[in-house]
Structure 1
Amino acid sequence: MTFAVPVWLAVQDALLEDEPTETEKDTKTCFDEFDDAALFEHFHLTRPCISFIVDAVRNRMKTVSYKRPSPPVDVFVMVALNFFAHGAFTPAVVQRIGSCLHASLPNAANSASGVIAGMSDVFISFPFTQDARDQNAAVIKEFCKIPDILGVLAPVQFKIRASPYEKESFKSFINAQGYTSVMSQFICDSQGNILSVEKCCVGSTAEQELWEYSFKGREVEEDQHGNYWLIAGPGYHLGNHILTAVTKPETIEEVLFNEAHAKMLNVMKQTVDLLKRRFMCLLQLGFTEEGSLNKKLNIIKACSVLHNIALKFSVPPPTRAVKTEPLYSGKLLAAETNVNALRARKELIQKNFSKPRNQN
């Protein structure tokens, strides 16, 4: 798994820029009380990964001038990581926190979500230079044989609880699968690195609408990221930058293309499965409330930041299995045929998936 070099250089510079004090160096953290097995059980992360996260959060809170949390930074992070991993606070972790902090655990987790989500400007990086885009596209072409692809695009559903007594708002949270949820737009590469996470909308939102009103959607459609494609499922419209599968393949070339296209979509499915498996809070984001969409997005973004860091440290997935879900397929919005996009896709298929004829 690789990251753009500038991203990790920026992280290293940031962490080295503000050296810890002698007190910080000598003081043990609350994580030292766990052996490696217990650490992974309670946080679904390894010791080196957690140490990096604590240092990154400490640095973030210094450089961005966050209000210092009432517990020490390591406790602040421990509370959040435990909640993210299990969707609740496990007894073994609660026992290690002073009784005076018990009542404030949810607030501490919410605050930490905001801090870690704010680190997405470093740890969630869409390829923003020509060299980075070329490198990304080359890796993806080697993976699936489709050229000029920057990543795979999909909406991801997260279950929530909504009050049926608030009929109008409740109805808007019901998605095409019939349960209440919120959804965010994800882009990842062929290695499962999350490149972009944005928006948190009610579950009934169509993915094409989500794309059109997203910041990344506007950037891509305005050619700010060059002449590249994003792989996308049937809920999106084939366009100048959105590459969908052939609805009714009629040739072997179109079948081969669809198989390559599905291979990339499967990467997104595996990425979402791993994300929800490692951070089980995402399996149920709790009740809706005023301003809750922003709070839900903070949790989603924070877990995405931690997902990318975990990949960097080659952290294995938790052994505990959770039921996997197919990628969301929502309501389809009618669209006019994009003749130019159809022609471009046809040319791409002919050039890259036609078998060379035998020469006599």
Structure 2
Amino acid sequence: MAYAGAVWLAVQEDLYRGVCREQTPKVLTSSRNNNTKPRDTHQLRRESVSRLEIFDDYFLSQCFHFPRQCLTFIVDCIKARMRKDVFRPNGDATSVEAMTLAALYYYAHGFLSRKIADALGLDHASASDAINTVSKVLEDMSADFITFPRTYDDRMGVAQGFKCISGIPNVVGVLGWLHVQVNPTSNEANLFLNTRGYHSVMVQIISDIDGNLLSVEQCRPGGTKEQEVWESSNIYQEFNRLQHGQTWVLGGKSLCKAKHVLSPVESSRIKTNAARRFNTAHSEVWKSIQHILGCLKTRFRCLHTLGAARIGNLKPVARIVTACCVLHNISKKFSVPLPRNLVLEHLPPDLEMRQEEHENFVDTEAVEDMIEMCFGNSGDEEEQKEIRNIKERHKQNSAKQFV
């Protein structure tokens, strides 16, 4: 995320200031109560040893799906955030590290095995509390690690990435929804039934062309209409206030009537070759959302199913999804490969609009003018060749990252 470099530097600076302030824990402490015997020296030393130092690199990668350097960064960030939060239960550095690793194991596999909990020095109750606590901390950190381009230069930097790949200008993100299977109560089951045929919650995400998440919000029952979710989101309100200038997010056909969303031209409305070329370019970019959702579910197995869910209490589910999205962006920053072969997320087929729904079509003239201007001239072979070359290089770079 080149446009957010200042944010990352600020987080690291704050982190390392906190680390420098941290006092080194003492191995031996004298008891103020004469009736209380001091703990065994070997026991205290064992408890204070970092788990990251005990486990080898292969074990760390297999268990937590992150390499040592990235795990150290994540643990240190969580330590720093917990020290700043006076309302959050705090503990020594070793216990915070154990809690963090327990949560990371759960995110990676969808459960926490007893052997891992024992190796981390956590009982069952402590391990469950650890997952909840760490998820809250990571959710609190989302504003630092999931950032939408706010300045003109940042927006143009992101938009240039989309234009180089597709030829479509002024696109600052791809809009999609992550569906996570849940088990609702019988009287709410219909509200959670999505178009894919299973019960889920849906979380709205926006990503850039490289798969970095720019916005994550709106945990809703899986049966909610996508346009309704988009138009009730905070980022939509920002677009309405023109905080992001004259830009679009790119979305599917279900959002053909939504403001600030660039969707493909409906087949009944295609009259020119420019519209056909635009749809081809749109499809190439739209496919990236399958890749991003697939990466999330491949790296974080917990996102395949999150158990029970109720309309009035979606916060615990939303918290875990947001925590995984924060970790996704951190993994992108550290170029962490996926732990296994990528499985693309299957998207439901977009339904064609009925003829009567074409009325009040949003931004028709502006979109048509853009399509004619950017895709109406097919004779510029040099420009088309350069776009094809950029696409090929982008595919090769993506393949190298996730082998």
- Above 0.5 in TM-score? yes
Aligned residue pairs, count = 353
Aligned to 2:221: 202
Tell me, in whole angstroms, the C-alpha distance in 2 between the residues paired with 1:229 and 1:235: 16
Tell me, in whole angstroms, the C-alpha distance in 1 between the residues paired with 2:248 and 2:51: 46
Aligned to 1:94: 117
Are positions 1:82 and 2:102 aligned together?
no
Are positions 1:278 and 2:299 aligned together?
yes
Aligned to 1:222: 241
Q: Mapping of 1:165-204 within 5 angstroms?
A: 167=187, 169-204=188-223
Secondary structure (helix, strand or coil) at the match of 1:156 reads strand
Aligned to 2:181: 159
1:245–1:39: structure 2 CA closer, same or farther, 3 Å change rule?
Answer: same
Aligned to 1:10: 10
Structure 1 residue 288 displacement after superposition: 1.6
Select which of 137, 155, 158 maps to 1:115.
137
Secondary structure (helix, strand or coil) at the match of 1:157 reads strand
Farther-moved stretch of structure 1 (169-178 vs 324-333) = 324-333
Are positions 1:68 and 2:69 aligned together?
no
Root mean square deviation of aligned Cα: 2.5
Tell me, in whole angstroms, the C-alpha distance in 2 between the residues paired with 1:18 and 1:355: 56
Secondary structure (helix, strand or coil) at the match of 2:228 reads helix
On the 8 A contact 2:257/2:362 being kept in 1, the answer is: no
Gaps of 5+ in 1: none
Secondary structure (helix, strand or coil) at the match of 2:173 reads strand
Tell me: higher relative CO, structure 1 or 2? Use CA pairs within 8 A at least 6 residues apart.
1
Are positions 1:306 and 2:324 aligned together?
no
Tell me, in whole angstroms, the C-alpha distance in 2 between the residues paired with 1:269 and 1:321: 10
Select which of 299, 318, 321 maps to 2:339.
318
1:23–1:203: structure 2 CA closer, same or farther, 3 Å change rule?
Answer: same
On the 8 A contact 2:227/2:258 being kept in 1, the answer is: no
Tell me, in whole angstroms, the C-alpha distance in 2 between the residues paired with 1:339 and 1:297: 33
Tell me, in whole angstroms, the C-alpha distance in 2 between the residues paired with 1:158 and 1:253: 37
1:346–1:46: structure 2 CA closer, same or farther, 3 Å change rule?
Answer: same
Tell me, in whole angstroms, the C-alpha distance in 2 between the residues paired with 1:310 and 1:221: 32
Farther-moved stretch of structure 1 (127-136 vs 332-341) = 332-341
On the 8 A contact 1:269/1:327 being kept in 2, the answer is: yes
TM-score w.r.t. length of structure 2 = 0.81
1:326–1:287: structure 2 CA closer, same or farther, 3 Å change rule?
Answer: same
Structure 1 residue 109 displacement after superposition: 0.4
Select which of 53, 58, 66 maps to 2:79.
58
1:264–1:28: structure 2 CA closer, same or farther, 3 Å change rule?
Answer: farther
On the 8 A contact 2:15/2:77 being kept in 1, the answer is: yes
Tell me, in whole angstroms, the C-alpha distance in 1 between the residues paired with 2:26 and 2:11: 19
Aligned to 1:146: 168
Are positions 1:341 and 2:363 aligned together?
yes
Select which of 59, 63, 67 maps to 1:42.
63
> Which AA in structure 1 matches 2:315?
N
Of all paired residues, the percent bearing the same amino acid is 35
Tell me, in whole angstroms, the C-alpha distance in 1 between the residues paired with 2:174 and 2:243: 17
Aligned to 1:327: 347
On the 8 A contact 2:249/2:260 being kept in 1, the answer is: yes
1:48–1:356: structure 2 CA closer, same or farther, 3 Å change rule?
Answer: same
1:133–1:290: structure 2 CA closer, same or farther, 3 Å change rule?
Answer: closer
Tell me, in whole angstroms, the C-alpha distance in 2 between the residues paired with 1:221 and 1:136: 20
Tell me, in whole angstroms, the C-alpha distance in 2 between the residues paired with 1:328 and 1:45: 31
Structure 1 residue 16 displacement after superposition: 2.4
TM-score w.r.t. length of structure 1 = 0.90
Gaps of 5+ in 2: 28-47, 381-403
Structure 1 residue 163 displacement after superposition: 2.9
Tell me, in whole angstroms, the C-alpha distance in 2 between the residues paired with 1:140 and 1:296: 32
Tell me, in whole angstroms, the C-alpha distance in 2 between the residues paired with 1:30 and 1:340: 55
